[in-house]
Amino acid sequence: VLSHTAGYIPINPLSAILHFSFFALTSILPMSSSTSAARTLVELRRIATLTRGGENSNHIFAARPFSSDVVISPVTVSDPTLSSSSDSNGKASKWWLYLPGAIAFGLGSWQIVRREEKIKMLEYRGKRLQMEPLKFSGAYPSSEELDSLEFRKVVCKGVFDDKKSIYVGPRSRSISGVTENGYFVITPLMPVHNYPDSVSSPILVNRGWVPRSWKEKFLEASHDEQFADPLPSPSQSDGTRSWWRFWSKEPVSTEDQVPSVTPNEVIGVVRGSEKPSIFVPANDPESSQWFYIDVPSIARECGLPENTIYVEDVNENVNPSNPYPLPKDVNTLIRSSVMPQDHLNYILTWYSLSAAVTFMAFKRLRQKNKRR
Confidence of residue 21 (pLDDT cuts 50, 70, 90): low
Confidence of residue 359 (pLDDT cuts 50, 70, 90): very high
Centre a 10 Å sphere on the Cβ of residue 251 and count the other Cβ atoms it contains: 6
> Do 275 and 149 belong together in one domain?
yes
> Do 53 and 159 belong together in one domain?
no
Residue 235 lies in a domain: no
Whether 7 has a pLDDT exceeding 60, the answer reads: no
Residue 8 lies in a domain: yes
Residue 236 lies in a domain: no
Q: For residues 13-23, give the mean pLDDT.
A: 53
- Using only C-alpha atoms, what is the Rg of the chain? 47
Q: Hey, which residues does 179 pair with through a beta bridge?
A: 174
Separation of alpha carbons 48 and 15, rounded Å: 9
Three-state secondary structure call for residue 29: coil
Per-residue model confidence (pLDDT) at position 249: 47
Among the residue ranges 94-108, 168-182, 248-262, the one predicted with the least confidence is: 248-262
Q: Please, what is the average pLDDT of the chain?
A: 75
> Do 206 and 270 belong together in one domain?
yes
> Do 70 and 9 belong together in one domain?
yes
Residue 248 lies in a domain: no
Contact 330, 131 (CB under 8 A): no
Residue 69 lies in a domain: yes
> Do 92 and 21 belong together in one domain?
no
Q: For residues 327-337, give the mean pLDDT.
A: 85
Q: For residues 170-185, give the mean pLDDT.
A: 87
Half-sphere exposure of 363 (CA within 13 A, CB side): 6
Helices 31-52, 13-28: axis angle to 10 degrees equals 170
**Segment 118-159, tens digit of pLDDT:** 999 999 989 998 888 888 776 666 677 777 888 889 999 999
Per-residue model confidence (pLDDT) at position 134: 86
> Do 87 and 125 belong together in one domain?
yes
Separation of alpha carbons 143 and 94, rounded Å: 55
Among the residue ranges 36-45, 99-108, 209-218, the one predicted with the least confidence is: 36-45
> Do 218 and 142 belong together in one domain?
yes
Which are the contacts of 67, defined by CB distance < 8 A and separation ≥ 6?
26, 27, 34
Domain count along the chain: 3
Q: For residues 70-97, give the mean pLDDT.
A: 57
Between the alpha carbon of residue 341 and those of residues 110, 111, 351, 353, the distances in Å are: 15, 11, 16, 19
**Segment 85-125, tens digit of pLDDT:** 555 566 666 778 889 999 999 999 999 999 999 999 999 98
> Do 116 and 217 belong together in one domain?
no
Residue 242 lies in a domain: no
Separation of alpha carbons 122 and 351, rounded Å: 25
Which one is predicted more confidently, 166 or 6? 166
Separation of alpha carbons 211 and 77, rounded Å: 87
Q: For residues 61-70, give the mean pLDDT.
A: 43
Q: How far is CA 371 from the centre of its chain?
A: 44
Which one is predicted more confidently, 69 or 306? 306
Give residue 92's domain range. Answer: 79-130+338-372
> Do 73 and 120 belong together in one domain?
no
**Segment 259-274, tens digit of pLDDT:** 567 888 899 999 999 9
Q: For residues 328-349, give the mean pLDDT.
A: 90
Separation of alpha carbons 142 and 178, rounded Å: 43
Separation of alpha carbons 291 and 301, rounded Å: 15
Nearest to 286 by CA among 274, 272, 300: 300
Three-state secondary structure call for residue 304: coil
Residue 162 lies in a domain: yes
> Do 193 and 272 belong together in one domain?
yes
> Do 19 and 126 belong together in one domain?
no
Residue 252 lies in a domain: no
Percent of the chain with pLDDT over 90: 35
Separation of alpha carbons 283 and 26, rounded Å: 97
Separation of alpha carbons 101 and 359, rounded Å: 9
> Do 187 and 300 belong together in one domain?
yes
